[in-house]
Amino acid sequence: MEIVHTPHAMTAWAQEQRHSGRRIGLVPTMGYLHAGHLSLVDEAKKNADAVAVSIFVNPTQFGPNEDFASYPRNAACDVALCREADVAAVFLPAPETMYAPDASVFVDEDVLCHGLCGASRPGHFKGVCTVVAKLFNIVLPDVAVFGQKDFQQAAIIRRMVRDLNFPVSIIIAPTLREPDGLAMSSRNAYLSTEERRQAVGLSRALDALMEGMPPSGTVLRHRMRDILEQHGLRVDYAEIVDAETLTPVEKISKGNVALIAAYCGTTRLIDNRVL
Ligand code: AMP
């Protein structure tokens, strides 16, 4: 397995793969890998000959008061997990190799990014789109795999690929969960024992949507909020939206998506379910 630290060397690796006729699969991550990330690697392996995992805590997608500095990192463990998972290359760039100090060109999706996580994290998706566009240019993937766990992110990446004609197929893979239903996340490492107990409220609120035929968006939003609050969580949003436009819906139909963001102590967690 190659461990690559600069964009230049990563592109050289990618060009070599392409010249040898190998299809490249990319799994972009911020590291602190868990089984959810590794399930994306498995999905990438099914659709490509050589899988690259990028591990980069991207500063431009964090707001000034967010957890960039404290975001959990363990490169040695991540590299070992990638080796075990038969990854072909790990891209571990230093931030200064990714952004020029005077970088002034960004990718900014302008419709899907305003609600949900975009409302509470201004600038977040601009950072995400920019880094993913850069990773596509650096790693030259034929296919890239993202998690449904970050539903809004997946929708925005798809839109970016469509609107900017990136020659990359996007695969969205299902969310892996702990035995009690909590969606796996690197940020779960922040939770105290008590908060970990509360955190199950996110998946419980989504489970409750499946009980009985959904009456209306308003009723379901309240149902989710009640369950989140019963678990001691502070609600950021609890929404039901159209899967493509991400706009709130009132009359529920199959394929609508319920999305939740809630604070467990100071840790902001997200989850979603397609109805
Ligand atoms: P992150 O490292 O949190 O930026 O996540 C990197 C990728 O892994 C994103 O495409 C996420 O949607 C995906 N991911 C995160 N958590 C999970 C999970 N529990 N199951 C499946 N994919 C996940």
State the distance from the centre of ligand 1 to the C-alpha of 205, rounded, in angstroms. 20
- Segment 245-258 mean pLDDT: 95
- Segment 180-204 mean pLDDT: 98
- Asked whether 217 and 251 are in contact (CB, 8 A), the reply is yes
How many C-beta atoms lie closer than 10 Å to residue 168's C-beta?
A: 19
pLDDT at 215: 77
Dihedral angle at the C-alpha atoms of 31, 37, 43, 49, nearest 10 degrees? Answer: 20
pLDDT band, very low/low/confident/very high, at 193 (cuts 50, 70, 90): very high
251 pLDDT more than 90: yes
Q: Which residues' Cβ are closer than 6 Å to ligand 1? A: 29-30, 36-37, 39-40, 146-147, 149-150, 173, 175-176, 183-186
pTM, two decimal places: 0.98
- Round to whole Å and give the CA distance between 7 and 102: 17
User: Does residue 37 carry a catalytic annotation?
Assistant: yes
Residue nearest to atom 6 of ligand 1 (CA): 29
Closest residue by Cα to residue 137 from 183, 105, 175? 105
Q: Using a CB cutoff of 8 Å and minimum separation of 24, what contacts does 66-70 make? A: 66/121, 67/187, 67/190
pLDDT at 211: 81
- Segment 82-104 mean pLDDT: 97
pLDDT band, very low/low/confident/very high, at 165 (cuts 50, 70, 90): very high
- Segment 143-168 mean pLDDT: 98
134 pLDDT more than 90: yes
213 pLDDT more than 70: no
3-state helix/strand/coil string of 199-261: HCHHHHHHHHHHCCCCCCHHHHHHHHHHHHHHCCCEEEEEEEECCCCCCECCCCCCCCEEEEE
Nearest atom in ligand 1 to 37's CA: 8
State the distance from the centre of ligand 1 to the C-alpha of 182, rounded, in angstroms. 13
214 pLDDT more than 70: no
Express as a percent the part of the chain with pLDDT over 90: 97
Average pLDDT, the chain: 97
Q: How many residues would you count in the chain? A: 275
State the distance from the centre of ligand 1 to the C-alpha of 12, rounded, in angstroms. 27
pLDDT band, very low/low/confident/very high, at 9 (cuts 50, 70, 90): very high
Q: What is the pLDDT of residues 13-68, one digit of tens each?
A: 999 999 999 999 999 999 999 999 999 999 999 999 999 999 999 999 999 999 99
Exactly one of 19, 37, 114, 222 is catalytic; which is it?
Answer: 37
6 pLDDT more than 70: yes
